């Protein structure tokens, strides 16, 4: 009888961030339950913020520990738990820092801006973010399909509740219903694809899948095709990639703005982490006869990335609701984030993950900042349309200036993080001779200028209905300016940041689990 792998007390150090989030979520649920109704639920938000920051501190400590010589049986700089089902490496740790940091900014910026009348379950809105982030972290560190799917469902189910937290809003109820249906369909596609992959390789652990992929190609090539394209369809739904993006605009519009920001950054990043981990440890090794299968799979990824960039950009041109516009902008940016995975891995192009992570960090800050501005603007005007930004420069010139920087980054204009993020990915398409994909990235970026300049025209060239100043809470103002400054720093120091990611991350240690 084979003994099942278990965690030891020494192993708990390596999952300390996950333990912190789990304990924090349970304790805050109890605190919220017994806290008198007259007490402002922002205190739950502050405690949630503390849990996120403590978990981030443990992640940094783990990265330091690993860089100082922690080893496993397989590779230096990584630690395997539960027979490789859970893996502590810098691929997961870097993404965990982004997830935790982004969630902390989202929670912090919402303090004092979320109205009790709009979200009657404000305490739950804060502490339910903790299990959602936990699910995202599990997705980024899992080395087993089953563990990944558990993390995916933890994130998904919690997100369904968060989207529905505006209980008195018809739009929120509609958004939650659509999100549950599309999320369930996506999970079904992913799980069905995983079952085929397990059936033909004989394992759910990614290391076993890598070892069994050659035999699977020889004997079950058709089933492998079905497996990968089922999973790709499921991830495309989760990531709102065209042509599976129709749900995104409705869900973003119906959800509370902090939840919308969370879905745009953390939920999207977690799905990318899972997609990169699975496909780089399975589809990448489907060499087959002259690499035909590998070429077909990654060409499919490239086609979906191109479709997302085109459909998202063109769809955003006619939108007047800011949340729906940013949702379609997210579709286009998801296509850009997917592009590094679609490119061939050659000696001239080994930096695909650093290109992805750099742009994802820029994407996170510019979106969180933009949604924070939207929160304070819509709170003052009572609507979330572009007209609410009319005359913003005259009412709040500094906020308008910060929003201009964030919009320039979203558009990919020079001296911003968004510009260099897109530029590094564009260079990747040139280095790998994938010129058609690079051309689509370039053309859609130019077209997107019309989308973001609409904001600027409203802020500087239109007069608003009221000349009264904009009321910003201190947390919202701090968040907006930190996001703006980081966006500029990413634009002024792109090469040192990219080099720093490359020094931390190693493809063989942190992504490939064996070959």
Residue 171 domain-assigned (yes or no): yes
Residue 269 domain-assigned (yes or no): yes
- Give the residue-averaged pLDDT of 458-482: 82
Upstream peptide bond of 243 is cis (omega within 30 degrees of 0): yes
E-strand stretches of 92-163:
none
Q: How far apart are CA 152 and CA 144, in angstroms?
A: 12
pTM of this prediction? 0.94
4 vs 81: which has the higher pLDDT: 81
* DSSP at 284: G
Q: What is the pLDDT of residues 8-19, one digit of tens each?
A: 777 888 999 999
SS3 364: helix
Residue 6 domain-assigned (yes or no): no
The first and second tokens of residue 125, run together, are 């809105």
Assess contact for 131 and 40: CB atoms under 8 A: no
* 118 CB-contact burial (10 Å; exposed 0-12 / middle 13-18 / buried 19+): middle
Assess contact for 452 and 407: CB atoms under 8 A: yes
The pLDDT, as a whole number, for residue 73 is 45
The pLDDT, as a whole number, for residue 74 is 45
The pLDDT, as a whole number, for residue 4 is 59
Domain range for 129 is 15-510
How far CA 254 is from CA of 37, 160, 162, 267, in Å, comes to 26, 12, 11, 16
pLDDT band at 1 (very low <50, low <70, confident <90, very high): very low
Q: How far apart are CA 59 and CA 64, in angstroms?
A: 9
| pLDDT mean across residues, the chain | 88
Residue 8 domain-assigned (yes or no): no
The first and second tokens of residue 237, run together, are 């739904």
Q: What is the pLDDT of residues 242-264, one digit of tens each?
A: 899 999 999 999 998 999 999 99
Assess contact for 119 and 163: CB atoms under 8 A: no
* DSSP at 416: S
Residue 3 domain-assigned (yes or no): no
Assess contact for 275 and 339: CB atoms under 8 A: no
Which of 45-54, 93-102, 299-308, 387-396 is the least confident region? 387-396
| Unique residue bearing structure tokens 């992640």 | 59
pLDDT band at 116 (very low <50, low <70, confident <90, very high): low
Q: How far apart are CA 485 and CA 250, in angstroms?
A: 31
The first and second tokens of residue 491, run together, are 């634009």
- Give the residue-averaged pLDDT of 165-192: 91
* Greatest alpha-carbon span in the chain: 76
Determine what percent of the chain is predicted with pLDDT higher than 90: 58
Q: What is the pLDDT of residues 477-500, one digit of tens each?
A: 999 999 999 999 999 999 999 989
pLDDT band at 216 (very low <50, low <70, confident <90, very high): confident
Q: How far apart are CA 427 and CA 434, in angstroms?
A: 10
The pLDDT, as a whole number, for residue 76 is 57
The first and second tokens of residue 217, run together, are 């190609």
**HEC secondary structure over 78-107:** CEEECCCCEEECHHHHHHHHHHHHHHHHHH
Q: How far apart are CA 374 and CA 256, in angstroms?
A: 11
According to the per-residue pLDDT averaged within each range, which of 321-330, 345-354, 373-382 is highest? 321-330
Residue 9 domain-assigned (yes or no): no
Residue 515 domain-assigned (yes or no): no
Which of 281-285, 299-303, 356-360, 424-428 is the least confident region? 281-285
For the beta carbon of residue 84, count every other beta carbon within 10 angstroms: 21
Q: What is the pLDDT of residues 26-84, one digit of tens each?
A: 999 999 888 887 777 789 999 999 999 999 999 999 998 887 765 444 455 688 888 88
Helix, strand, coil percentages for the chain (3-state, nearest 5): 75, 5, 20
Residue 10 domain-assigned (yes or no): no
Q: How far apart are CA 328 and CA 1, in angstroms?
A: 53
Provide the domain count of the chain.
Answer: 1
Q: What is the pLDDT of residues 260-306, one digit of tens each?
A: 999 999 999 999 999 999 998 888 877 654 578 888 899 999 999 99
Within 13 Å of residue 491, how many CA atoms lie on the same side as its CB?
Answer: 22
| pLDDT of 110 above 70 | yes
Whole-angstrom distance between the N-terminal and C-terminal Cα of the chain? 29
């Amino acid at each position: 009888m084979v003994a099942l792998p278990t965690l030891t007390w020494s192993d708990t150090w390596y999952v300390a961030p996950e333990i912190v989030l789990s304990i924090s979520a349970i304790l805050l649920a109890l605190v919220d339950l017994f806290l008198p109704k007259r007490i402002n639920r922002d205190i739950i938000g502050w405690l949630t913020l503390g849990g996120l920051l403590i978990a981030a501190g443990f992640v940094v400590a783990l990265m330091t520990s690993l860089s100082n010589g922690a080893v496993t049986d397989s590779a230096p700089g990584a630690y395997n738990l539960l027979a490789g089902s859970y893996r502590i490496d810098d691929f997961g740790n870097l993404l965990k820092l982004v997830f935790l940091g982004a969630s902390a900014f989202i929670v912090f910026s919402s303090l004092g801006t979320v109205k009790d009348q709009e979200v009657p379950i404000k305490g739950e809105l804060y502490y339910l973010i903790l299990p959602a982030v936990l699910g995202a972290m599990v997705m980024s560190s899992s080395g087993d399909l089953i563990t990944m799917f558990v993390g995916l469902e933890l994130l998904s189910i919690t997100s369904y509740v968060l989207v529905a937290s505006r209980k008195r809003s018809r739009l929120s109820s509609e958004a939650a219903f659509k999100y549950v249906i599309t999320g369930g369909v996506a999970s079904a596609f992913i799980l069905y694809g995983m079952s085929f992959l397990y059936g033909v390789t004989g394992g759910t652990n990614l290391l076993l899948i890598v070892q069994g992929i050659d035999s699977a190609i020889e004997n079950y090539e058709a089933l492998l095709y079905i497996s990968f394209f089922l999973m790709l369809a499921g991830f495309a739904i989760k990531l709102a990639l065209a042509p599976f993006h129709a749900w995104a605009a409705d869900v973003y519009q119906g959800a509370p703005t902090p939840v919308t920001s969370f879905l745009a950054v953390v939920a999207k990043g977690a799905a990318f982490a899972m997609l990169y981990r699975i496909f780089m440890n399975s589809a990448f090794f489907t060499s087959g006869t002259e690499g035909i299968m590998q070429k077909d799979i990654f060409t499919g990824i490239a086609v979906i990335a191109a479709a997302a960039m085109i459909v998202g950009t063109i769809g955003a041109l006619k939108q007047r609701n800011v949340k729906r516009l940013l949702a379609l902008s997210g579709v286009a940016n998801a296509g850009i984030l997917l592009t590094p995975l679609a490119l061939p891995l050659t000696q001239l192009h080994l930096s695909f993950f650093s290109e992805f992570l750099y742009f994802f960090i820029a994407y996170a800050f510019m979106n969180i900042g933009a949604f924070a501005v939207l929160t304070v603007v819509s709170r003052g005007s009572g609507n979330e349309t572009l007209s609410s930004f009319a005359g913003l420069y005259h009412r709040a010139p500094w906020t308008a200036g910060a929003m201009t920087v964030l919009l320039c980054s979203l558009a990919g204009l020079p001296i911003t993080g968004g510009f260099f993020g897109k530029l590094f990915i564009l260079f990747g398409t040139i280095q790998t001779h994938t010129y058609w994909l690079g051309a689509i990235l370039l053309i859609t970026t130019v077209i997107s200028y019309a989308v973001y300049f609409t904001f600027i025209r409203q802020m500087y060239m239109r007069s608003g209905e009221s000349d009264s100043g904009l009321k910003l809470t201190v947390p919202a103002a701090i968040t907006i300016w930190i996001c703006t400054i980081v966006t500029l720093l990413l634009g002024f120091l792109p090469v040192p940041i990219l080099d720093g990611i490359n020094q931390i991350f190693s493809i063989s240690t942190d992504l490939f689990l064996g070959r």
